[in-house]
Structure 1
Amino acid sequence: MGMFLSTAKNPQVPAEKTEVPAEKTKKIIRKGSLLGIEEKSLESDYKKVKEIGSGRFATTYLYKHKSTGKKYACKSIVKRLLATESEKADLRREVRIMEHLRGQKNVVELVDTYEDAQHVHLVMEYCAGGELYDKMESKGSFSEKVAAQIISSIMKVVCYLHFMGIMHRDLKPENFLLAKKALLGAPCCADYTLLKAIDFGLSAYIDEGKPNQEKVGTAFYVAPEVLRRQSYGKEVDIWSAGVILYMLLTGAPPFYGDNETQIFEKVLKAEPDFDSYPWPLISKNAQHLVKRMLSVRPNDRPTAAAVLNDQWLKENGVATENPIEDTFLGKLRHFRAMSKFKKLALTVMMESIPPEELEGLRAMFRNFDTDGNKVISRDELKKSLLKLGSNIKQEDIDMIVQNADTDRDGTISYNEFITTMMHVRREHKEEHLREAFDRFDTDGNGTISKEELKSALEKNKMGDEATINDIIQEFGADNDDQISYKEFCDMIRG
């Protein structure tokens, strides 16, 4: 399991506005904090049950929430073992990536993060089914039907990662957990339809204009271009997934050696065995997909979306819906109903978020803005989505641009892109909500008045008197021409 960090907190609703607004409390951040998060006690909220795993830097425990009794996995990282600035920076990057990916059902969810003098504690969703690796080691090879289920779950993760501007760079069976425990405890009875990805410690942002050359990964699964120190991109994840599929079908790795040097030599030759048993018994379509995923030339490998749409998966009855269509286009279709005030509020919130927390969205924007002119055209959006394997229609492209393009210039600017993605993801930190609200609540009385709202809208050229009255009527639920903090949060999250 990898290390998962987050500064997210459970949102708290403030007092009703009929009460005197509570004085804002200053966060207490421990001196020398690795993550700069508020100091709080893990033991006050959770009870330790038992140890369930350990690694070089950390030990993972099973915890129960004291109020709900719900089980969670908690990884406790020993801070003194993170000796170099590079190791500390890697952890901070992993925090940002995990927050960037929040809400995806095939990624283990971060629940909370605690930090004390000795440890960083990462409270995560508990997956009772264990590692995919253990099931593979126990079972050996799988039927084509089950192998198709497993690779479909893996590729949904990869497809979503690549769309969100992330390459994992360390895909392997150890980094996928089964959400549910197998019936009767046997691998043959396990539910492989929902695998959860973990360990984003080696993940990196994709920059199409600046390919990566860092040598990272795990011996059996690393792509040849990584070993050659060539510039590489997200195609390395397709290679690693191809290795996993080969192992699922045969029970053996395609590139085997007694040590890393021998394994790397085999990977660089890139000549996996497709002649020996059990390959003569495996369908031609399965063989064809594995061979494409293990193509030496990165550009010859299929995209993650193309793998999900492969004929072999269809033949084995696997649902091959594209997560881009499900998580992105579906939500954007509702974007047009967003009020001017919500668009303005999201813009204000974006301006208050530290730049490092927007790094993932900036990477996405750069990859869509292929000509580097700081705006995304209809053509750039369509070509970028097609490159990711989406079968998007022109009417969907037009809908996205129309809904995101608030200044009606026919393109999507950086600010418009960020606020659109913030709306789609609907994951907002309490501190960012509070800061945005305070920007509107200029007199600090705990509510946004009609005059304050009018001033903000006029300053940003986003409304006239009728628009302001409509906003007050919509969100001032108690008809007092005021917007409370609760109403503001409900509007942003809605």
Structure 2
Amino acid sequence: MGNIVRKSGSPKKAWMPETQLEVKMVEAMKQRASAGSATKSFNSIILKFPKIDESLRNCKVIFEQFDEDSNGAIDHDELKKCFHKLEISFTEKEINDLFEACDINEDMGMKFNEFIVLLCLVYLLKDDPTALLAKSRMGMPDLEATFETLVDAFVFLDRNKDGYVSKSEMVEAINETTSGERSSGQIAMKRFEEMDWDKNGMVNFKEFLFAFTRWVGIDDMEDEEGEEV
């Protein structure tokens, strides 16, 4: 997945972030984890899928606004204009890192689901008055609550509060919800495999977000639009 480098050794050992952006993601998530999670079960996350789906689809307005050439993807220059318009104070390097991290197909353009992941990472990493003003300028009051739900869901899964979700943590979270069901372990493994794109045994927040857009059907929406053209 992108320029992620697989690491050897057991996932039980301290996991080392591989990019500067990942370092920031992990530290931000650790800080959020210190406050605990309001999520009580994985089922409660699933029950929120329809509301989250609706909120994320509403981001299409923002996406189309900054996709100036209407080619279905936001390129690097369009992203820089997006940050400038929303007055989000990221450095050139931070913008480059975010673009590279979210352009998972490495086709020099972010599709809609990739753009959603980027916005949520901005929410996590830039939780200051400037960013809050930018969010209000988006004209989407539900967006902040949706991103907060996603952050809280990750904190719930990250049992040891190290900024990553391991396979065993996912199994524990699913088992709490489906205790006694034979299929609970299989469900947990399937969900984890859907998140662990680089197959290194640990899931960071970005990987979790990409999996989530698939779970709520954002990718399906893009496929449908592609068929209409």
TM over 0.5: no
> Per chain length, whose mean CA-contact separation is higher, i.e. which structure has more relative contact order (CA < 8 Å, sep 6+)?
2
Q: Which has the higher strand share?
A: 1
Q: Which has the higher helix share?
A: 2
Q: Which has the larger radius of gyration?
A: 1
The TM-score, its normalising length taken from structure 1, stands at 0.20
